Amino acid sequence: MLDLQPATDPVLINDLQTKGMRLVDPRAGHESRRGGAGPSDHKAVSFGDTTVMVPVHTAPAFDSPYLVEAPGADGQARITRDGAEVARIRFPNRPKFYDLVTADGIAYNKIAVLHSRDVLATTVLQTCIRYESRRKTCQFCSIGQSLAAGRTVAHKTPEQLAEVAKAAVELDGVKHMVMTTGTPPGNDRGAAILSESARAVKAVVDLPIQVQCEPPEDDLWHQRMKDAGADALGMHLEAVTPAVRERIMPGKASVPLEKYFSSFDAAVRVFGRGQVSTYILAGLGDTREAILDMSERLVAMGVYPFVVPFVPISGTPLESHPAPTSEFMADILEPLSRIVIDGGLKASDIKAGCGKCGACSALSTYEKLRVPA
C-alpha cells in the first residue's frame, strides 16, 4: 500500500468526486458553480499543486461523509470524515477578472468563468437544439439553467471573449481556455462559431484553446478550427453503448458512433495524436468493460478518453440518478491510466482543455503515479 499525500491519492479524489462534500461555511472560497456546462454544482479545491472539482450542490453531496470546515487564518480548511482529518485544502481565490465588465456593459463572469484554478471556460452559445426539446435533450445537461438564472448570456461575441480572455491571462495567470457550445442548427454543429471565437481570442492573447462541439458533417471544419487558432478539439461521446446513448441522450444519439469515429480519425490527422479528446461519463449505465473497450479503441486512434464520474445535477431529469461508486471509478481509471500511457497519450501532453486540466477526474492522478514527473 502506497503512503500517498492527498494531492496524489486517487482513492481520496475518487471518493470526494463521487460522494461530494458538505461545507460548514458555504461562502468559503470563490463561488461554486450551479447549472451551465462543464463541472456544474461543483467547487474547486486545491491539495497543494493539485486542484480538483468536487460536487457540493448535488444530492450525494448533501449526505456526504466529508465535511469541510471554514478556512483558518492560514487560508487552509480541514476536510474531516467521522471527525477525523483526512486532508487540508485551499480554495482558489476569486478571480480578479470577475470584478470587470465588458465595453458593452456585461460582467466578465457572464462571458467566461474560471474552472479549476487556471482554466478559462466559456459556453459560446448557451442554447442548444437538443436542450430545447424534452424528447431530444441530454438527460444530464443543465446548459439552460445558468441562462435562465441570469448568470450568463445566450451568445458571447468574439469581441467579448477576446476582451475577457486577455484580462484573465493578465490578471489571474490563466494558462489555457475551453470553448464549448450548445449545438446550433446547421451541419457545422457549432464549428463555425467556435472558429470565429478562437480567431478573435488568438488575435489579442497567446492562449492555448480547446474547442468542443459535436462532429461537424464536413471534416473540413477540423482544419478550419485549427487554422482559426484552436490547439485541441473535444468531441464528447458521454456514453459509449448505443442503448445507453439512446436512453440518456436521444437527440445526440441521432449522430451515430460511426460518424464520431470517422470524425475522430479526420481530427487526429489535423490536430495530432493526443490533441483530440472525448468526455465519457461513467455511471450512466455503461459497464466497466464497455468503457475500457471503447477507451482502447480511442487511444489506438490517438484520441484521449477523458473518463469522469457522472454527477447528478439538480434540476435535470437525472438529478436523482445515483452517482457511481468510488470503487467503480477506481476499477476503470486505474487500468485506463495504463492504456493511455502505453498508447503514448498523457494528460500533461495535451495543449488545452478538459483532459489537460484533469480536475473533474482522478485519471491524471493515476497517470502521474505510473509516470512520476
Per-residue pLDDT reduced to its tens digit, 238-268: 999 999 999 999 999 999 999 999 999 999 9
Q: What is the pLDDT of residues 52-96, one digit of tens each?
A: 999 988 888 889 999 999 888 888 999 999 999 999 999 988 999
Residue 271 has pLDDT above 50, yes or no: yes
Q: Does domain 96-370 have CATH number 3.40.630.30?
A: no
Q: What is the pLDDT of residues 167-205, one digit of tens each?
A: 999 999 999 999 999 999 999 999 999 999 999 999 999
Interval 295-317 mean pLDDT: 94
Give percent of the chain above pLDDT 70.
93
pLDDT confidence of residue 138: 87
Q: What is the pLDDT of residues 113-131, one digit of tens each?
A: 999 989 999 999 998 888 8
Sorted by sequence, the CB contacts under 8 Å of residue 204 that are 6+ apart come out as: 162, 163, 165, 166
Give me the residue label for grid cell 437525472. 318
pLDDT confidence of residue 35: 45
Chain centroid to Cα 88, Å, comes to: 24
pLDDT confidence of residue 130: 85
Interval 23-48 mean pLDDT: 65
Confidence of residue 29 (pLDDT cuts 50, 70, 90): very low
Give the residue extent of every domain in the chain.
96-370
Give percent of the chain above pLDDT 90.
74
Sign of dihedral through CA atoms 259, 309, 234, 138? positive
pLDDT confidence of residue 30: 47
Check if the beta carbon of residue 36 is closer than 8 Å to that of residue 117.
Answer: no
DSSP assignment of 215-247, as one string? PPSSTHHHHHHHHHT--EEE---B--SHHHHHH
